[in-house]
Structure 1
Amino acid sequence: MTIYFYWGEDDFAIDKAVAILRDRILDPLWTSFNYTGFLPDQSDAAIAALNQVMTPPFGAGGRLVWLINTTICQQCPENMLAELTRTLPVIPDNSYLLLTSRNKPDERLKSTKLIKKYATEFREFPLIPPWKTELLIQAVNQAAQIVGVKLTAKSAEVLAEAVGNDTRLLYNEIEKLRLYAEGSHQPVDVDTVTLLVRNTTQNSLQLAAAIRTGDTVKALTVLGDLVNAAEPELRIIATLVGQFRTWLWVKLMLESGERNPQAIAQAAEVGNPKRIYFLQQEVQSLALRQLISCLPLLLELEFIFKKGSGDVSVLQTKVIELCLVCRRS
């Protein structure tokens, strides 16, 4: 099969996968003849792409047809479905159809089922949730290995904290570290990472920590830094929801008498049970009712912004309310 479908919110990771696929399929001397991209605003882009992929490649190498940000796995008219049904099974072996989308395919649609049936690769590229520290550190180590940079365990942790789940920024910063450490056989240490990496010194997890302690001034300062750094509001809110949900589960398990770190980690969806000790310390000063009271405020905030009626002042107001809830004895 010569069909590939990539989707997800990690645009940079998708771009890298597309570049690898393009380099593998196309002959550099014949790229201009055999490589075509169709944007979503082009009329009948999907039909044109299917017609193009049936055309044999010129010269050496294969043909690659890229249907960019397609919506055929979210909505697919009958005429489009008929064209997919007719074309997908008979695409020539040296022609490749690539479809990409930011949105998750609707598994109920016939078009999605059809593409999955014939696809060589049907792959998601999700953003790692900012509160899943272990996965962020793992992504840092993987990127460092790909680029060819040695990191200490602590420098990988500091780098993960600095760049969060921004894959593009991660690779940019690791490339900077590679150039700096060129010729050295020693791992890049924490001091070097702190010196060179564009550190988003205030991140959404630090905002959650400030709210947890009821420190309104610090929380608003961190929020201001995040907004000035153009951090999307919905991403900030998603991090807060995830972090408070984790704290709530840890507190619930402790209140129920559970002391097994593995059991608490499983309930709270924490990948590394060793983190439970630190999470226990973090929720020690909070009552269960305080954490329960925070979640409706956060979900209301998320609803407001998803409706498109939120702004910075709304976010600031909710942060103050959350700090007041956490400050009460």
Structure 2
Amino acid sequence: MVLDIWKRIKQRDIAPIYLLYGTEGFLINETKQLLLNHILDEEEMDFNFSAYDLEETPIELAIEDAETYPFLGERKVIFLHNPSFLTAEKSKEKVEHNLSRLESYLKEPAPYTVMVISAPYEKLDERKKITKELKRNTVIVEAKKLNEHELKNWIKERAKANGIEFESNALDLLLALVGTNMFMISSEVNKLALYASGEKKIDAKLVEKLVARSLEQNIFTLIEKVVQRKLDEALRIYFDLLKQNEEPIKILALLAGQFRLIYQVKELSRRGYGQQQMATYLKIHPFRVKLAAGQASKFTDEELASFMKLLAEADYQMKTGGMNKSLLIEMLLFRLKR
């Protein structure tokens, strides 16, 4: 698991070759940065760090570099980006790679070089010999979306590194407000740590005060206000979004998307799906399923069907009619109120 590998890197338990693959860009970037920070000093970076785009450079040139002794230091780091020869996707490569050269290197890597192969693909082609060799001879970092438990553990570790600690309800609120984007979470944790200064604990009140809400979260909260029949508060959120220059058509699309998700979660729950199964089926983060399930319990099937019809009508009017778009959503919110 990626968090365990990070701990080993911090303890300077460094492997000669890493294979990073997956679509969670934060985990890939963080792993790269951790390796650089724990292998090279700042003054060594110019001499002993290099990066190659394998869509532009043959793999054998990068391996020649890896086998060359470091200059003014004991170790060197080499990043290899975009190894599309590891996937079944159509290749964008402009060069031919001597993959047998890479296979030989995997079996006997240079002891003074740390090679990091960064493959930002959802899947690798397991049928290929080179993929099998890499999985056999490297430390694998699978950069996939963390589940809720893993995400909370990562936030706790991030907070600890910044000298702060989240109260349990503050951690839940942070995730509810920001969502599961790790870049955004990292930024908000850093901001909270700076603001807290001498304070050790971060409570829900401070999170509520400082953490920026994503557009998606504002839409989620807006729907919550509709559910609670607090139309004035729902409208206030909507008007705030307009002040932030959010386009009405985008707001409508997100409203429709959230109600569609609520409907899907309600239907899948009726069929006996668990939340993790729903997340896999819908291809979204389990935390989004958890939030949608909470809202789904507050609607009847008839209400959801009615709301979906109203949203479809509003979408049609917005794209074909001459009515003011912002007024159209305002009227929609009045009609959504139960």
Alignment of 1:44 with 2:57, yes or no, is yes
> How many Å apart are 1:45 and its aligned residue?
4.5
Question: Partners of 1:224 and 1:82 in 2: how far apart?
Answer: 58
Q: Aligned residues, how many?
A: 287
1:1-329 equivalences under 5 Å are 2-40=16-54, 43-74=56-87, 79-104=97-122, 105-119=124-138, 121-128=139-146, 136-185=151-200, 187-200=201-214, 202-203=216-217, 206=220, 209=223, 228=246, 240=258, 244-253=263-272, 264=274, 268=278, 278=294, 281-282=297-298, 284-286=299-301, 290=305
> How many Å apart are 1:167 and its aligned residue?
1.5
> How many Å apart are 1:161 and its aligned residue?
2.0
> How many Å apart are 1:266 and its aligned residue?
6.6
Distance 1:193 1:47, change over 3 A: same
> How many Å apart are 1:82 and its aligned residue?
2.1
Distance 1:112 1:228, change over 3 A: farther
Q: Give the SS at the match of 1:72.
A: helix
Question: Partners of 1:275 and 1:207 in 2: how far apart?
Answer: 11
Q: Deviations over 1:208-229 (max 9, x none)?
A: 957x97x9x9799899899949
Question: Partners of 1:111 and 1:224 in 2: how far apart?
Answer: 52
> How many Å apart are 1:67 and its aligned residue?
0.9
Distance 1:280 1:173, change over 3 A: closer
Q: Give the SS at the match of 1:36.
A: strand
The answer (yes or no) to whether the contact 1:207–1:222 under 8 Å persists in 2 is no
TM-score by length of structure 1 reads: 0.66
Distance 1:136 1:27, change over 3 A: closer
The answer (yes or no) to whether the contact 1:9–1:125 under 8 Å persists in 2 is yes
Question: Partners of 1:112 and 1:227 in 2: how far apart?
Answer: 47
The residue that corresponds to 1:308 in the other structure is: none
Distance 1:177 1:313, change over 3 A: farther
Q: Give the SS at the match of 1:5.
A: strand
The answer (yes or no) to whether the contact 1:136–1:160 under 8 Å persists in 2 is no
> How many Å apart are 1:267 and its aligned residue?
5.7
Question: Partners of 2:209 and 2:304 in 1: how far apart?
Answer: 42
> How many Å apart are 1:101 and its aligned residue?
2.1
The answer (yes or no) to whether the contact 1:251–1:288 under 8 Å persists in 2 is no
The answer (yes or no) to whether the contact 1:202–1:225 under 8 Å persists in 2 is no
Question: Partners of 1:286 and 1:226 in 2: how far apart?
Answer: 34
Question: Partners of 1:248 and 1:38 in 2: how far apart?
Answer: 48
Deviates more, 1:135-144 or 1:95-104: 135-144
Question: Partners of 1:225 and 1:10 in 2: how far apart?
Answer: 32
Distance 1:65 1:209, change over 3 A: same
Q: Deviations over 1:88-135 (max 9, x none)?
A: 22221111211112213222222211211211x11122235xxx7666
Question: Partners of 1:224 and 1:5 in 2: how far apart?
Answer: 44
Q: Give the SS at the match of 1:127.
A: coil
Runs (4+) off by over 3 Å: 75-79, 132-142, 207-210, 217-229, 239-245, 263-271, 274-280, 287-291
> How many Å apart are 1:31 and its aligned residue?
2.6
Question: Partners of 1:313 and 1:142 in 2: how far apart?
Answer: 47
Distance 1:88 1:276, change over 3 A: closer
The answer (yes or no) to whether the contact 1:57–1:94 under 8 Å persists in 2 is yes
